[in-house]
């Protein structure tokens, strides 16, 4: 009797009889919602199964004749044909800046000036040193003349005295004095040459304090202001960036390694920029560089295209997307690419063999274009409906050529214009 009394509360707790009325209503509500959810999922599955029921049929498209244009797409940036960075070889304070952004300049035109106070003082000092060296040369010349005359007199006296006077010691001393005078003259002349070279260097630095344009062009960048200090140490600081001529520009694009074999000099291209989405510009390839660049694991080759920018609508640095025309084929037999990728189901594959979970979740698409290893060895082929039995299909080998991504050119013979080829499968809805 004691055990029976102890188990009654446990049974009531499991059945929920000891719960309050509010908790019981909440439990009933959850049970009803769960039943409704299961019923809804079952209804959806039954509805999908009913709509999907039906026989398989093949989707076809016609083979046609037309013109095929094969293009290679690449992106890049617009650059001037000749861009020059103008800097300063000297350190100093910028005194004046004579040009601004977008100004047109000519070769030799003054762009900026440095403070030349120290440079002018150095030039004056070098000029004075040169004059002093020239004066020492004149002194050395006078000494040479004096010692030469003295040596000549001693030799004359030696001849007149029959070799008795002067003594040999006096004669040797006079000859040594004359040699020293000639050496002093040569040293003075070398000092003049050194002083002249120093003066030339200082005058060159003074001339470089005036920064001039090396080309005819337009100012793209002005990176200096009056009063700014320029420090030229190992590398000259860039003060201005000039573009020679913006009416003729270059487009530098990166061509993928898979497409670079089709790209050649002289080919035409069309490109667009974000600034003018409705305009299409034309260009021509001038160079395909051999050097490669690897960006994020992709190997590309830089290709240069020349373009006309007479209206100055395009600007340096714009990003462009170019379509390079690598081949044009007229009146070609064109096959849809979907037909070349289509592979019929294998013997054991059926559309109805789908489990409950696969019906509940979206099914992954069938891999196309691979085919069996035997089909890959046989080469490209398409599938066409059998003339005798429309429910059967047969393969037709084709010899393919170029493609533009949607259609592929093929040689004549295997297929005829207007003939339908299979591009996929679909179910007939009852």
Residues 102 and 224 in one domain: yes
Mark whether 239 and 362 lie in a shared domain.
no
List % helix, strand, coil for the chain (3-state, nearest 5). Answer: 35, 35, 30
Question: Tokens in use for 358?
Answer: 């696969």
CA R_g for the chain: 48
3-state SS, residue 132: helix
Question: Of 214-218, 309-313, 378-382, which range is least confident?
Answer: 378-382
Task: Single out the residue of 126, 123, 83, 129 nearest to residue 209, CA to CA.
Answer: 123
Q: Which of 48-57, 110-119, 292-301 has the lowest mean pLDDT?
A: 48-57
pLDDT in the model for residue 366: 38
Residue 417's SS3 state is coil
Region 16-31: mean pLDDT is 65
pLDDT above 70 covers a percentage of the chain that reads 82
Does 20 have pLDDT greater than 50? yes
Do 254 and 298 share a domain, yes or no?
yes
**Position 153 pLDDT exceeds 80:** yes
Split at pLDDT 50, 70, 90, the class of 232 is confident
Q: How confident is the model at residue 392 (pLDDT cuts 50, 70, 90)?
A: confident
22 pLDDT tier (thresholds 50, 70, 90): low
Give the number of other Cβ atoms within 10 Å of residue 201's Cβ: 13
Q: What would the two tokens of residue 299 be? A: 């190997």
Q: Hey, what are 427's tokens?
A: 């179910």
Residue found by looking up tokens 């830089």 in the block: 302
* Least trusted range by pLDDT, from 182-186, 307-311, 357-361: 357-361
Q: Give the Cα separation of 116 and 23 in Å (integer).
A: 96
pLDDT band at 428; cut points 50, 70, 90: low
Residues 226, 228: Cα–Cα separation, whole Å: 6
Q: What pTM was computed for the model?
A: 0.64
The CATH code of the domain that includes 284 is: 2.40.30.170
Where is the domain boundary, 297, 329, 361? 329
Closest of 312, 255, 388, 391 to residue 80, by C-alpha: 312
Q: At what angle do helices 168-208 and 117-160 cross, to 10 degrees?
A: 160
Residue 165: pLDDT band (50, 70, 90) is confident
- For 170, residues 6+ apart whose C-beta sits below 8 A from its C-beta are 154
Of the residues 273, 307, 329, the one at which a domain ends = 329
Q: How many domains does the chain have?
A: 5
**How many other CB atoms are there within 10 angstroms of residue 72's CB atom?**
22
- Is there a domain that residue 394 lies in? yes
In terms of phi and psi (left: phi > 0; alpha: psi -120 to 50; beta: otherwise), the region of 394 is: beta
**Phi and psi torsions of 105, nearest 5°:** -125, 160
Pick from 132, 148, 144, 133: nearest CA to 189: 133
For residues 339 and 421, state if they share a domain.
yes
For residue 75, being part of any structural domain is answered with no
Question: Rounded to an integer, what distance in angstroms lies between the CA atom of residue 124 and that of residue 116?
Answer: 12
Of 248, 228, 250, 247, residue with least CA distance to 239: 228
Same domain, 271 and 325: yes
- Same-domain pairing of 271 and 316: yes
Mapped onto helix, strand or coil, the DSSP state of residue 333 is: strand
- Residues 405-409 have a mean pLDDT of 90
Same domain, residue pair 228 and 360: no
- Residue 197 falls within a domain, yes or no? yes
**With contact defined as beta carbons under 8 Å apart, do 114 and 90 qualify?**
yes
pLDDT digits (tens, 9 = 90+) for 234-267: 778 899 999 998 999 999 999 999 999 999 999 9
Quote the pLDDT of residue 355: 38
Which pair of tokens denotes residue 232? Answer: 């030229």
**In the chain, % of residues over pLDDT 90:** 60
Average pLDDT of 156-161? 90
Q: Does any domain span residue 252?
A: yes
How sure is the predictor about 47, in pLDDT bands with cuts at 50, 70 and 90? low
For residue 113, what pLDDT is reported? 96
Looking at residue 93, which CATH number applies to its domain? 2.40.50.100
Q: Of 301, 329, 357, which residue is a domain's last?
A: 329
Mapped onto helix, strand or coil, the DSSP state of residue 319 is strand
Q: Is the dihedral of CA 35, 38, 44, 50 positive or negative?
A: negative
Q: What is the average pLDDT score of the chain?
A: 84
Do 305 and 288 sit in the same domain of this protein? yes
Confidence band, pLDDT 50/70/90 cuts, at residue 45 = low
CA separation for the pair 408, 300 (Å, rounded): 25
CA atoms within 13 A on the CB side of 188: 20
Same-domain pairing of 235 and 87: yes
Neighbours of 271 (CB within 10 A): 25
By mean pLDDT, which of 103-107, 125-129, 413-417 is the weakest?
Answer: 413-417
pLDDT over threshold 80, residue 9: no
For residue 76, tell me if it sits in a domain: no
Report residue 214 CA to chain centroid gap.
27
* pLDDT exceeds 90 at position 53: no
pLDDT digits (tens, 9 = 90+) for 322-359: 999 999 999 999 999 999 999 887 655 554 443 343 33
Q: Where are the beta strands (DSSP E) in 10-91?
A: 56-62, 64-80, 83-87
Same domain, 160 and 236: no
> Is 74 inside any structural domain?
no
The answer to the question of residue 342 being in a domain is yes
Residues 97 and 224 reside in one and the same domain: yes
For residues 109 and 216, state if they share a domain: yes
**In DSSP terms, which residues pair with 410 in a beta bridge?**
333, 400
Asked if residues 128 and 120 have their Cβ atoms less than 8 Å apart, the reply is no
Structure tokens at 292: 């490669």
- Domain contains 255: yes
Range(s) of the domain holding residue 419? 57-66+335-427
- Check residues 378 and 205 and name the one with the higher pLDDT: 205
Residue 306 has pLDDT above 60, yes or no: yes
Q: Which of 308, 269, 309 is nearest to 285 (CA)?
A: 269
Q: What is the CATH number of the domain that holds 410?
A: 2.40.420
Lowest mean pLDDT among 21-35, 197-211, 259-273, 322-336: 21-35
Q: Is 404 helix (H, G, I), strand (E, B) or coil?
A: coil
* Both structure tokens of 260: 């670079």
For residues 207-231, give the mean pLDDT. Answer: 94
| Residue 51 scores a pLDDT above 90 | no
């Amino acid at each position: 009797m004691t055990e029976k009394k102890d188990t009654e509360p446990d049974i009531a707790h499991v059945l929920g009889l000891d719960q309050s009325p509010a908790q019981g209503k909440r439990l009933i509500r959850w049970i009803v919602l769960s039943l409704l959810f299961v019923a809804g999922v079952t209804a959806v599955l039954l509805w999908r199964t009913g709509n999907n029921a039906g026989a398989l049929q093949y989707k076809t498209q016609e083979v046609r004749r037309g013109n095929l244009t094969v293009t290679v797409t690449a992106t890049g940036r617009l650059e001037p044909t000749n861009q020059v960075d103008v800097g300063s070889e000297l350190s100093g304070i910028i005194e004046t800046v004579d040009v601004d952004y977008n100004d047109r300049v000519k070769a030799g035109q003054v762009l900026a000036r440095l403070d030349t106070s120290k440079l002018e003082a150095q030039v004056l000092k070098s000029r004075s040193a040169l004059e002093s060296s020239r004066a020492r040369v004149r002194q050395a010349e006078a000494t040479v003349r004096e010692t030469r005359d003295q040596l000549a007199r001693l030799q004359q006296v030696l001849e007149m005295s029959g070799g008795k006077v002067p003594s040999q010691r006096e004669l040797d001393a006079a000859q040594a004095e004359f040699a020293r005078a000639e050496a002093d003259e040569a040293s003075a002349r070398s000092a003049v040459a050194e002083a002249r070279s120093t003066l030339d260097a200082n005058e060159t630095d003074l001339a470089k304090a005036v920064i001039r344009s090396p080309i005819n062009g337009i100012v793209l960048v002005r990176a200096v202001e009056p009063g700014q200090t320029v420090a030229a140490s190992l590398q000259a600081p860039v003060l201005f960036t000039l573009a020679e001529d913006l009416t003729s520009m270059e487009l530098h694009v990166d061509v993928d390694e898979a497409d670079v074999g089709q790209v050649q000099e002289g080919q035409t291209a069309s490109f667009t920029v974000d600034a003018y989405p409705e305009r299409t510009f034309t260009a021509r390839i001038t160079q395909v560089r051999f050097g490669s660049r690897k960006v994020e694991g992709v190997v590309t080759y830089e290709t240069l295209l020349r373009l006309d920018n007479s209206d100055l609508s395009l600007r340096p640095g714009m990003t462009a997307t170019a379509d390079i025309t690598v081949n044009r084929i007229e009146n070609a037999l064109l096959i849809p690419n979907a037909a070349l990728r289509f592979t019929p189901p294998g013997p054991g594959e059926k559309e109805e063999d789908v489990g409950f979970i696969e019906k509940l979740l979206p099914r992954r698409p069938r891999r196309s274009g691979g085919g069996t290893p035997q089909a890959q060895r046989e080469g490209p082929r398409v599938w066409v409906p059998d003339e005798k039995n429309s429910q059967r299909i047969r393969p037709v080998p084709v010899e393919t050529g170029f493609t533009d991504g949607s259609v592929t050119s093929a040689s004549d013979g295997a297929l005829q214009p207007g003939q339908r080829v299979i591009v996929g499968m679909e179910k007939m809805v009852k």
